[in-house]
């Protein structure tokens, strides 16, 4: 990501206040831009009903926060006067901005998942491992809920609890195992490949009457049989 694009994003976000609740200061790789955005970000999160501050107020807030004198008035002026009107908002700014946001959200989520799994080998209790899995699942769920519209209108039904119930069936496929479905928040995520791995005879197929599909080597015809029947064929 170039500094020119980051400047463009910052100025565009200043004109679209709701994105201050989507974009984090850490998204900006340029330290000056990250600092300036961070000052405004903190102010608006403390005063959510306040309008986006004008250039003069931004400069005054920066002076209060900038102990190392990182930002000069010239630097701030150069950033805030980025000619946003020279760019196609619909076909350039917004798609680039959304891609940038999503990339950063994925990176942050990946880091959180790594942190959750760092000490996994030291956890011997099932409840501890399930707790870790639950946290990882929640991280992935939150990543899937990213709203790039910046729509902060809560609607007239915000206080109606039933309106917040999500239909997971649109995004999940039940595994058939109630406990596993609960851990996964409703089942497997659609359009994903999932692998169950364990040592031999550790219950990957659950029970002997669990159906599996095999294919005849000669006729290539698929056939559905139980696990018990499968082992019987091997013994024969």
Across the chain, what does the average pLDDT equal? Answer: 81
Q: Are 30 and 8 in contact (CB under 8 A)?
A: no
pLDDT for residue 107 is more than 70: yes
pLDDT for residue 54 is more than 90: yes
Which position has the token pair 């850490």?
26
Mean pLDDT of all residues in 109-128:
82
Higher pLDDT, 30 or 203: 30
Confidence of residue 26 (pLDDT cuts 50, 70, 90): very high
* pLDDT at residue number 66: 94
* pLDDT at residue number 133: 84
pTM of the model: 0.57
pLDDT for residue 185 is more than 80: no
pLDDT tens per residue across span 193-233: 777 777 776 666 666 777 777 777 778 788 888 877 877 77
* pLDDT at residue number 234: 66
Please list, in sequence order, all residues whose beta carbon lies within 8 angstroms of the beta carbon of residue 76, skipping any fewer than 6 positions away: 36, 55, 58, 59, 62
Question: What residue spans define the domains of the chain?
Answer: 1-153, 154-194, 198-236
CATH superfamily of 1-153: DNAb Helicase; Chain A (1.10.860.10)
| Residue closest to 154 by CA, chosen among 13, 16, 21, 10 | 21
Task: Identify the H or E element spanning 193.
Answer: none
pLDDT tens per residue across span 138-182: 877 776 666 666 554 434 444 444 444 444 455 577 776 766 676
Mean pLDDT of all residues in 50-77:
94
């Amino acid at each position: 990501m170039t500094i020119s694009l980051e400047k463009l994003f910052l100025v565009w976000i200043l004109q679209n206040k709701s994105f201050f609740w989507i974009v984090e200061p850490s998204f900006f790789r340029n330290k000056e831009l990250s600092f300036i955005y961070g000052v405004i970000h903190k102010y608006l999160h403390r005063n959510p009903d306040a309008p986006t501050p004008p250039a003069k107020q931004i400069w005054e807030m920066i002076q209060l926060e900038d102990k190392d004198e990182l930002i000069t008035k010239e630097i701030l002026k150069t950033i805030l006067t980025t000619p946003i009107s020279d760019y196609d908002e619909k076909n350039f700014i917004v798609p680039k901005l959304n891609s940038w946001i999503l990339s950063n959200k994925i990176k942050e989520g990946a880091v959180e998942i790594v942190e959750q799994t760092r000490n996994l080998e030291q956890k011997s209790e099932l409840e501890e491992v399930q707790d870790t899995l639950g946290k990882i699942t929640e991280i992935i769920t939150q990543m899937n809920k990213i709203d790039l519209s910046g729509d902060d209108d809560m609607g007239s039904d915000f206080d109606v609890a039933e309106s917040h119930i999500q239909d997971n069936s649109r995004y999940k496929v039940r595994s058939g195992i109630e406990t596993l479905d609960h851990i996964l928040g409703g089942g497997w995520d659609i359009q994903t490949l999932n692998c169950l791995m364990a040592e031999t005879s550790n219950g990957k197929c659950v029970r002997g009457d669990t159906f599996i599909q095999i294919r005849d080597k000669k006729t290539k015809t698929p056939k559905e049989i139980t696990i018990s029947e499968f082992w019987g064929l091997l013994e024969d």
